[in-house]
Amino acid sequence: MKINELRDNPGARKGRVRVGRGIGSGLGKTAGRGQKGQKSRSGVSVKGFEGGQMPLHMRLPKRGFNNIFAKDYSEVNLGAIQKLIDAGKLDAKKLLDHDALKAAGLARGGKDGVRLLGKGEFKAKASFKVAGVSKSAREAVEKAGGSIEVLEKKDSAALAAAKKGKARETRLADKAAKNAEKKA
């Protein structure tokens, strides 16, 4: 037996039906599409069409809600962090932030940062810099002698206002500098 001689058992893979291949095949001439009409033509998609009546999927009520302002946090349990510290994949002496946890393969996704959760046992003295932390996780880290720094949540409206104010200040400063040059 060689690798190039490997085959499926006979009959394990059934060939697809080739329609429109003559009268003897049983699916010749119209190829199982019947006579004339919209559905006999190519390029037709009438799934869910109910003869002009409002289709069922449109009659049913819409459900649910998609919050466009929801934060996307990568949730990481302390037990998983402890496992990686014990395995030597994470260094507890260094600052554990989003980048460090991502590099270790714990924080997948989470464009708004990492949120620590308290599931599992945690006994390493480590310092964290995260976007959020649960009450139980904070207690567990502080009990082990570690520290947690929570990043400030950036309010988009406040950020925009601050940016606008800063731009105005720089504009006024530039104007004042030009006026000083003219006088000199």
pLDDT of 4-38, one tens digit each? 999 999 999 999 999 999 999 999 999 999 999 98
Higher pLDDT, 164 or 102: 102
Sign of CA dihedral 7, 12, 13, 18: positive
**What pLDDT score was predicted for residue 156?**
56
Dist. CA 139–CA 146, nearest whole Å: 10
pLDDT of 65-96, one tens digit each? 999 999 999 999 999 999 999 988 888 888 98
Q: Where are the domains of the chain?
A: 74-150
Helix (H) or strand (E) holding 150: strand 147-150
Q: What angle do CA 171, 174, 178 make, to 5 degrees?
A: 140
Which two structure tokens, joined as six digits, stand for 76?
């990481």
Query: Is 74-150 in CATH node 3.100.10.10?
Result: yes
Dist. CA 120–CA 141, nearest whole Å: 12
